[in-house]
Amino acid sequence: MNLRYSLEDEAFRSGIRAWLEKEVPAHGAPPPADDWPARRAYDTAWQRKLHDAGLAGIAWPAEFGGRGLPVSQQLVYLEEYARANAPYVGVNFVGLMHAGPTLIAEGSDAQRAFHLPRILSGESVWCQGFSEPQAGSDLASLRTRAERRGGEYVVSGQKIWSTRAHVADWCELLVRTDADAPKHKGISWLILDMHQPGVTVRPMRTLDGESHFCEVFLDEARVPVENRVGAENDGWRVANVTLRFERGTAFAQHIITLRSQLRRLAALAKSRGVELRVELGRLHASIEALWRMTQMCVAEAERTGIPSPLGSAVKLRYSELSQELAGLAMRVAGREALGAADRELVREYLWSFQMTIAAGTSQIQRNLIAQRILGMPKSR
Ligand SMILES: Cc1cc2nc3c(=O)[nH]c(=O)nc-3n(C[C@H](O)[C@H](O)[C@H](O)COP(=O)(O)OP(=O)(O)OC[C@H]3O[C@@H](n4cnc5c(N)ncnc54)[C@H](O)[C@@H]3O)c2cc1C
């Protein structure tokens, strides 16, 4: 791939930069972290602005309402987005980054026609219902069951760690539709309407004092059969498409923000008179190398429609680098970091722990890299 930007790309950059410079300050500061209705309103209103400006779904094909930008301009867009410190994708993460792309790759025409425009415009918010109390890394052992009765599935069970489920309208849900089949063969991928009597969502408070995650209890919740994505019992394959998007391209926006995190660390070190030149140089090189890997991943996804297993390497490296950066910032800030002035540093530090677990732990990514990239045999 060509890593140089063309004159056309640079012209695109100027346009995006001008738009962001005007719109980002106008959108105002985000609401308090634990005011979830306000966060939903803030994030979806921003998504609506992007949509109206023709900037929603920059990587989605134009036939599905996206901008269908060439890879180079997707990357320019991400760079400018981070530079402008534009609002985090927030509650729109699942819909835009992996549910929508899964529907594009695997959904029916009716599913695409209904859901994709709503995701792009910020009208509907999605969450992910994959993990269960006994099925995290070993996701295929999930037990939430769906029994087919006439034209619908009746779903009962429990999901856990469902990020932002308390403000979601729809859920990408994995269920067991054949209890007798081998575990990978009896799973289906359903679109669950969260606004119905059989769905109870209970937020969970985490170490950082916030409530991003939820438990989701399903008690005879209903899903019309036409809301199944892919064939019945073929959900494991579809789930892997979702996970490839989640690990491969979904974090690109996070990765590019490491650059500004590093700049903040450099400023902090300078202000405290801490000598960090060697660490900063090494981290700078690592971040730029990771950005190149991300570019490869985005380019590959553009070519084939679905990100490759390289995404596991990108996700692994990103989560480790982000922990290293946040840890170093805490060391530089020292005890004072616990004071009000540096609260953001503490938040970033605590948040960085989650990244080596979300979307599959680092150990699982290493297993995937060994098996799917290096071609090594499965361990017993
Ligand atoms: C920020 C965040 C957001 C999340 N959002 C969602 C969401 O929206 N929806 C959702 O469904 N889930 C979500 N999750 C859940 C996440 O996918 C799981 O936490 C993750 O897959 C690990 O599962 P577990 O917590 O059950 O840990 P376990 O699977 O119990 O793992 C415990 C430890 O054992 C190790 N381990 C397990 N199996 C192996 C193995 N085969 N080889 C080597 N080591 C192994 C793991 O690496 C880990 O260190 C989220 C998690 C986080 C942290």
pLDDT, tens only, 14-58: 999 999 999 999 999 999 988 999 999 999 999 999 999 999 999
- Expressed in angstroms and rounded, the spacing between residue 274 Cα and the centre of ligand 1 is 36
Closest CA to 165 of 234, 218, 208, 214: 214
- Expressed in angstroms and rounded, the spacing between residue 139 Cα and the centre of ligand 1 is 9
Q: At what angle do helices 277-304 and 235-248 cross, to 10 degrees?
A: 140
Nearest alpha carbon, ligand 1 atom 5: 163
pLDDT, tens only, 299-319: 888 888 888 888 999 999 999
Q: Which one of 68-82, 132-146, 321-335 scores highest in mean pLDDT?
A: 132-146
- Helix and strand numbers (H, E) in the chain are 12, 8
Nearest alpha carbon, ligand 1 atom 16: 358
What span, in angstroms and rounded, lies between the C-alpha atoms of 101 and 75?
18
Does the structure show a pLDDT above 80 at 325?
Answer: yes
What span, in angstroms and rounded, lies between the C-alpha atoms of 376 and 15?
46
Nearest alpha carbon, ligand 1 atom 35: 363
pLDDT of residue 156: 98
- Expressed in angstroms and rounded, the spacing between residue 152 Cα and the centre of ligand 1 is 30
pLDDT of residue 301: 84
Does the structure show a pLDDT above 90 at 185?
Answer: yes
pLDDT of residue 342: 58
What span, in angstroms and rounded, lies between the C-alpha atoms of 105 and 96?
13
In whole numbers, what is the pLDDT of the chain averaged over residues? 93
Indicate which atom in ligand 1 lies nearest the CA of residue 138.
29
**Contact between 140 and 110 (Cβ < 8 Å):** no
Q: Which of 91, 161, 210, 380 to mutate to test the pocket of ligand 1 (most atoms within 8 A of CB)?
A: 161
Q: Is 246 a catalytic residue?
A: yes
Mean pLDDT of 143-157: 97
Paired with 157 in beta bridges are: 218
Nearest alpha carbon, ligand 1 atom 38: 137
Pick the catalytic residue: 80, 132, 172, 246?
246
pLDDT of residue 123: 98
pLDDT, tens only, 188-243: 999 999 999 999 999 999 887 889 999 999 999 999 999 999 999 999 999 999 99
Q: Which residues form ligand 1's pocket by a CB distance below 6 Å?
A: 127-131, 136-137, 161-163, 354, 357-358, 360-361, 363-364, 367
3 state SS of 307: coil
pLDDT of residue 321: 95
**Contact between 288 and 258 (Cβ < 8 Å):** no
- Expressed in angstroms and rounded, the spacing between residue 362 Cα and the centre of ligand 1 is 9
Which pTM does this prediction carry?
Answer: 0.93
